[in-house]
Structures are given as structure tokens and as C-alpha cells.
Amino acid sequence: MMVSLNDFKNIALIKINYRCNQDCIFCHEDLINLYDFIELRIIENYWDAFDDYKIDTVLLSGGEPLYDFNSFLKIVSYFKKRGLKIILITNGTLLNYNRIAQINKMIDLVYLSIHSFNPRLDYKLTSKNFLKTKLINLELLLKLEVPVILRRLVFKDNYSTIDNEISYIFNKYKGIEHFWFELGILENKGKKLRANYKYMFLNNYEILKIINSLFFKFPNVKILIDNIPKELLSEKYQQFIDPISEKFRLRVELNNVGEYVLERVKV
């Protein structure tokens, strides 16, 4: 099982469906629950671009990619047949032991999103009571040695508990090689978030304070950052930047009229 994040070289981000079983107040997707799974023939249109960009990894996102597990398995085996590595982004609610055992041999890395460890806040953020399930699935993934990045957005409502959560998590999973914790700075993306939740965003001063304090308090645990504002990017933080997000070469996703389009990402 691969454990180095640097082994993923050239990545295509593919939004494979737009169905989701959560209703997060910070959802960045405006098309949630409007569209079904991507048809595989659409991907066939893009194989040339995959070759041009030497794509070796697909990052499967959504919606919730596991919303229809059988369609998900079909898509994964399709990419596996092309020899591609697979990264999955999931909200972690639709996994169980059997499913993890099934995907274990096919998936190279899982981003599991848990944005608060407090059940009440988790409910407020996602409109669902799935926290327990997500935590059990995190445990199962690690037990079955699936490499995991525990992804946590940072915003006004949930940043005060980060220290306690990191201590708890890294004490619990001490010594596990294939485990990282990621702080995703909340982006101003998606109509829902822009219209209703402006108060959630942290300013640059607050972001810097959080990051500095974390790296001072936890110098030896594997913490990554994603979406750090460009103006805050200094030498000091370079080593913490999530190497995956640096390597997107192509994106395949729906446009605002519901057609799948391929975008080439400049490098």
C-alpha cells in the first residue's frame, strides 16, 4: 500500500456524481442533488488529454462519490483497468466494514471529511446526525490500513476546538504511518455559502494565528494545509502545503448547464 503523498504525480480531479446525503451549510457545490453519476463514455472523450498530461492518478469527488456504491465500484474498476491510482474524497457516512474491505485493494488514499467532533455542531453544519458513523469509519479505514487524510475545514464556528481534536486523534492513532490531518481553509465558493454564511470566514490574521499555534504545539505530527491564501504563503508554510492539491492537471466536472467539461489546469 502506497503511503507517500509524493507518489501521486499528475492528478485529474473528476466529479463523478452530484448526489449527496448531507446538506452542509458550507457546501461549495451549486449542483448538489441535481445530477446523477457520470457516464463512463464521457471519460473516454478525455483519454487523449490524460495521455498528454501523463495523468497517473484520478481524484474522485462529488457530491458524495459513494452515494450509489455499485456505480462507484464500476467507475473505480474502469480507472483501475487503465492503471490509474485512485484517491477518494468522501464524507465518510456511507462506508462500513464490508465496503471498506471491498475498496481497500482499489483505493490508494481517502480524504475523509469531518469538520467538527462535537455532535451538535456537526449537526448544525451538515443537517445530519452522522458523526458517530464517520468516526467509526475513520477507525475502520485505519485498522484496514487504508491511507487516510482526515480533512477538516476551518471557519469561525469550529476553530476553537482544533487543538483538542488534534491531540485526541494523534494520541489515538499514534504511530500510524499512513495518516495525516488536513486543515482546509474555507473558501468563498458556491452560491449557498456566499449568500448566507459570510460570517463563517476567518480573516488572514485569524488564519495565521491558528496555523502558527498549531505548528508550535504539534511540531511532530503530520498536519497539512489546503487553500491557504496566497498572500500568507511564506517559506515557513511551504512544507505543510498538501502536495496533492499542487498536482491537479485536469478537472472533469459539470458546467452551469449540466454538461461535463474538461478543464486543463495550467502548471
Taking CB under 6 A as the criterion, which residues in 166-195 touch ligand SF4? none
* Residue among 5, 13, 14, 27 that touches ligand SF4 (CB under 6 A): 27
Of the candidate spans 19-27, 73-81, 135-143, 257-265, the one that interacts with ligand SF4 by CB under 6 A turns out to be: 19-27
Pick one of 64, 157, 242, 253: the residue that binds ligand SF4 (CB under 6 A).
Answer: 64
CB of 19 to ligand SF4, least distance (A): 9
| Contact letters for ligand SF4, residues 79-98 (x by CB under 6 A) | ------------x-------
| x/- letters, 216..255, toward ligand SF4 (CB under 6 A) | ----------------------------------------
Q: Positive or negative CA dihedral for 219, 220, 221, 224?
A: positive
The span from the CA of 83 to the CA of 71, in Å, is 19
Q: Around Cβ 13, how many Cβ atoms within 10 Å?
A: 21
- Give the nearer residue to ligand SF4 in terms of CB position, either 32 or 166: 32
Locate cell 485529474: which residue?
12
**Listed ranges 48-56, 58-66, 135-143, 180-188: which one lies at the site for ligand SF4 (CB under 6 A):** 58-66
Task: Kindly tell me which residue out of 5, 16, 32, 207 binds ligand SF4, with binding defined by CB under 6 A.
Answer: 32
Show the 3-state SS of 118-180. Answer: CHHHHHHHHCCCCHHHHHHHHHHHHHCCCCEEEEEEECCCCHHHHHHHHHHHHHHCCCCCCEE
100-123 burial, b at 16+ Cβ within 10 Å, e below that, comes to beebeeebbbbbbbbbbbeeeebe
Alpha helices in the chain (DSSP H): 40-44, 47-52, 69-81, 97-103, 119-126, 131-143, 162-172, 191-196, 204-217, 235-238
How many Cβ atoms are within 10 Å of 213's Cβ, its own excluded? 12
- The distance of closest approach from Cβ of residue 90 to ligand SF4 in the complex, given in angstroms and rounded to an integer, is 8
Asked if residue 22 binds ligand SF4 (CB under 6 A), the reply is yes
Contact between 116 and ligand SF4 per CB under 6 A? no
Q: Which stretch binds ligand SF4 (CB under 6 A): 22-30, 97-105, 217-225, 236-244?
A: 22-30
- Which residues contribute to the site for ligand SF4 (CB under 6 A)? 20, 22-24, 27, 29, 32, 62-64, 91
